[in-house]
Amino acid sequence: MKLGAFSASLAVKDIVASKAFYETLGFKVFAGNLENNYLIMKNENTLIGLFQGMFENNILTFNPGWDENAKTLKDFDDVRTIQKHLKSKGIAITKEADENTSGPASFVVMDPDGNAILVDQHI
């Protein structure tokens, strides 16, 4: 299964302080908007999303169809195909993508320890 780019989406209390902290670790702003309380930070192939006031807990995020530079992949598994596969294996979907659509969509599953996994396709 091809899940695409991976990032940790962090629920932060102070996005300015978090931005400064991750810049000290060598991350640079890759995308997002500070005024809208979210930034995507990048260090080499590693991506971290900083989100203030958007969700309560940290989320593991996969982006089918994108590489770590947000470039479209030629070969990838559509989010709906991934969702159908997980459902066929008995994995409960917390928030489902509409399987009768195409293009951008997302779904959420929880791992056995309660960690949210967002599979978010932008193309």
Q: Taking all residues of the chain, what is their mean pLDDT, rounded to a whole number?
A: 97
- In order of 13, 61, 74, 82, 85, the CA distances from 47 in angstroms are 19, 10, 21, 22, 26
CB contact at 8 A, 15 and 39 = yes
- pLDDT recorded at residue 4: 96
- pLDDT recorded at residue 70: 95
Rg (CA), the chain: 15
Tokens describing residue 29: 């702003």
Using the structure block, give the residue that is written with the tokens 């489902």.
96
Half-sphere exposure of 18 (CA within 13 A, CB side): 19
pLDDT digits (tens, 9 = 90+) for 41-96: 999 999 999 999 999 999 999 999 999 999 999 999 999 999 999 999 999 999 99
Question: Domains of the chain (ranges plus CATH)?
Answer: 5-121 (3.10.180.10)
